Amino acid sequence: MSARQSEHICVKFQSAVDLLARRWTPIILQLLLQRRSLRYSDLYEQLQVVSEKVLIQRLKEMEQAGLIERRVINVTPVRVEYELSEKGRALGRVIGGIQRWADEWIAPPQH
């Protein structure tokens, strides 16, 4: 492998890590992997510790990255649902691997 190819691989890997390392992104992905789609209000309710501003920002970033799809349902009141794209569903193996690793190696927090 040439130095140029190696550099390209490192840049792509770092870009992926940067995307997935944003606070709340992996948890949002995990929630969407568990269900086919979730309404915005359901996501917000399940992530009680995240502000609306941050949740909206993460969802926009994930949509721009092609990980999720936003669907507006024209009912009164308007409903917005999010579901994983094919690209987002492909992260299931990664998220599942992190979960298995955490189950084996991370101690539960002591309260």
The residue type found at 49 is V
CATH number, span 22-105: 1.10.10.10
Structural domain boundaries in the chain: 22-105
Count of beta carbons in the 10 Å neighbourhood of residue 88: 22
Q: What is the pLDDT of residue 109?
A: 84
pLDDT along the chain (111 residues), means of 10: 70 91 94 93 92 96 97 92 97 95 92 74
Q: What is the pLDDT of residue 1?
A: 67
What tokens appear for 48 in the block?
């009680």
What does pTM read for this prediction? 0.85
Interacting residues of 82 by C-beta distance below 8 A, sequence separation 6+: 32, 37, 38, 39, 40, 43, 59, 68, 69, 70, 71
Q: What is the pLDDT of residue 6?
A: 66
Interacting residues of 10 by C-beta distance below 8 A, sequence separation 6+: none
CB 68 within 8 A of CB 83: yes
Q: What is the pLDDT of residue 10?
A: 86
